[in-house]
Structure 1
Amino acid sequence: MEMENNMESQKRQVISTDDLIADRTGSQGCCGWFLVILSGLFVLLTFPVSIFMCVKIVQEYERAVIFRLGRITDRKAKGPGIFFVLPCTDSFIKVDLRTISFDIPPQEILTKDSVTVSVDGVVYFRVNDPISSVANVSNADYSTRLLAQTTLRNVLGTKNLAEVLSDREGISHSMQSTLDVATDVWGIKVERVEIKDVKLPHQLQRAMAAEAEASREARAKVPAQTGQRARKRARSFALDADVEAFVFPHAACADLKTCQDACECALARKISTRASCSAEPSFCQSCSS
């Protein structure tokens, strides 16, 4: 899929460049060629000095788009290194090919579920076609910045709050593809888009915090209720058994509180049994010992 997108991008660049400089050859006219020849003669006549006016250098990360009498001279930008221009008829513009990053200012966006959030981000892009970036747009950097702001609003306007908070990677990929298609005719390649921060209104933050606290409390009540049920079962078991017969063999008395309750219940039962036996010794002789 990515290879197909790259092939389509290259085709669009070739078509736009061909349309831009299709008539460059032989389109100077008689007057234009006369000026070019005159400029060449001037360079020859002032050769030792004019060499400093003709020789230009661009860095490894730069390219030069040359205009001759206002027209682009070649399909490919010059550089890096040394190139030559005619001092009177040629002019050139340097284009930086390095990756440029900029911050998207915080945007107040209304989500799909009618929640206002403030979102900002960062965009990384570079010039992919120097000729298109010079001839097709007046300021490629500024235009890309404005387009990134509107694209952020358009993409997040179709998402609800839960998707904005959880699906940042999907939003970034959607913005990158949209920006890449829109800026392709300008010779710009959008390499990466990242969502930096999502700021919620204070009232919504308090409401979400209260909801999270309530859910935590509800989860914390489950073990307490389980323990209470275990203690109730332990009390009912202890009413029918002595301490030695109940506390140690049964797993229901694993915690200290349950064992204490069982001991109290069994002890109370034993005391009551001893009292009844002392009142009527003929019924129970085992308790007298």
Structure 2
Amino acid sequence: MRSNKFISAIQLSVMSTKHEHGIGSSSRVEGGAKGPGLFFILPCVDTIMKIDLRTVTFDVPPQEILTRDSVTVSVDAVVYFRIFNPVISVTNVENSRVSTQLLAATTLRNILGTKTLQEILSDRENISHSMQTHLDEGTDPWGVKVERVEIKDVRLPVSMQRSMAAEAEAAREARAKIIAAEGEQKASRSLKGISMFGNTLE
């Protein structure tokens, strides 16, 4: 009886929620994923690490990228991911979240470096899908599932912003002149028609 009381006294219960798994390691038995639920560890002998299995996000900080047509842009993104295998997320990589963040930044630079500025601005959906596919393949050995990637913002150099604004203004002015010229032609034809009708009456 005393032996059982002693064992109970040194056992520590750990409650894992439905969103978590516990990774246990011990000099007595082989560690593994446990939970969700109630299980026990021995202080100073067993260790436990809680792994959140819910989808979480992180921001990819702005990356300076040279596009295929030699334009420097700053692009950032957001990545949605979750851990699907708690054991290998701990055993195969030192820090799965940090490693995924670093890989996301590298993947963003590599993919956008093969695109022109126009492609980056007009084809974000396909670029995001391509980045998600590449990231998911790279993080699979770490027990990480990349569910979605979204390109947040594409910032152009100030000089290019001014140039594009000037081009847009010139295009608007040209369009306005065309509309005005078309209006004058219609008015001229109308006046000519009225004049011919008046001459016919005379």
After TM superposition, the score normalised by the length of structure 2 is 0.88
Of Structure 1 and Structure 2, which has the larger fraction of its residues in strand? 2
Amino acid of the structure 1 residue aligned with 2:15? I
The CA deviation at 1:227 is 2.9
* Distance change >3 Å, CA 96–CA 230, structure 1 → 2: closer
Question: Is residue 61 of structure 1 aligned with residue 33 of structure 2?
Answer: no
* Distance change >3 Å, CA 89–CA 236, structure 1 → 2: closer
The CA deviation at 1:236 is 5.1
One of 91, 94, 98 as aligned partner of 1:138: 94
Partner SS, residue 152 of structure 2: strand
Q: Tell me, in whole angstroms, the C-alpha distance in 2 between the residues paired with 1:221 and 1:70.
A: 85
Q: Quick check: 1:104–1:121 contact (8 Å CA) kept in 2?
A: yes
Say which one has the larger Rg: 1
Partner SS, residue 34 of structure 2: coil
Amino acid of the structure 1 residue aligned with 2:82? R
Question: Is residue 81 of structure 1 aligned with residue 37 of structure 2?
Answer: yes
The CA deviation at 1:233 is 4.1
Q: Tell me, in whole angstroms, the C-alpha distance in 2 between the residues paired with 1:58 and 1:241.
A: 92
Equivalent residue runs for 1:1-289 within 5 Å: 44=4, 46-50=6-10, 53-69=11-27, 72-74=30-32, 77-87=33-43, 89-233=45-189, 242=198, 245=201
What percent identity do the matched residue pairs reach?
54
Q: Quick check: 1:65–1:72 contact (8 Å CA) kept in 2?
A: no
Amino acid of the structure 2 residue aligned with 1:64? G
Partner SS, residue 115 of structure 2: coil
Partner SS, residue 76 of structure 2: strand
The CA deviation at 1:47 is 3.4
After TM superposition, the score normalised by the length of structure 1 is 0.63
The CA deviation at 1:219 is 1.8
* Distance change >3 Å, CA 121–CA 244, structure 1 → 2: same
Structure 2 alignment gaps of length 5 or more? none
Q: Tell me, in whole angstroms, the C-alpha distance in 2 between the residues paired with 1:214 and 1:241.
A: 41
Q: Tell me, in whole angstroms, the C-alpha distance in 1 between the residues paired with 2:15 and 2:90.
A: 19
Q: Quick check: 1:59–1:81 contact (8 Å CA) kept in 2?
A: yes
1:96-126 Cα shifts (integer Å, max 9, x gaps): 1122211111111000000000101111111
Q: Tell me, in whole angstroms, the C-alpha distance in 2 between the residues paired with 1:124 and 1:185.
A: 17
* Distance change >3 Å, CA 191–CA 236, structure 1 → 2: closer
The CA deviation at 1:145 is 0.8
Q: Tell me, in whole angstroms, the C-alpha distance in 2 between the residues paired with 1:234 and 1:125.
A: 66
Amino acid of the structure 1 residue aligned with 2:84? N
Q: Tell me, in whole angstroms, the C-alpha distance in 2 between the residues paired with 1:153 and 1:71.
A: 44
* Distance change >3 Å, CA 183–CA 70, structure 1 → 2: farther
Partner SS, residue 54 of structure 2: coil
The CA deviation at 1:68 is 2.3
The alignment covers a number of residue pairs equal to 201
Amino acid of the structure 1 residue aligned with 2:70? S
The CA deviation at 1:240 is 5.6
Q: Quick check: 1:109–1:153 contact (8 Å CA) kept in 2?
A: yes
* Distance change >3 Å, CA 244–CA 221, structure 1 → 2: same
* Distance change >3 Å, CA 234–CA 194, structure 1 → 2: closer
Amino acid of the structure 2 residue aligned with 1:55? S
* Distance change >3 Å, CA 212–CA 46, structure 1 → 2: same
1:60-79 Cα shifts (integer Å, max 9, x gaps): 211111212287434xx100
Partner SS, residue 46 of structure 1: helix
Higher relative contact order (CA 8 A, sep 6+): 2
Structure 1 alignment gaps of length 5 or more? 1-41, 246-269, 271-289
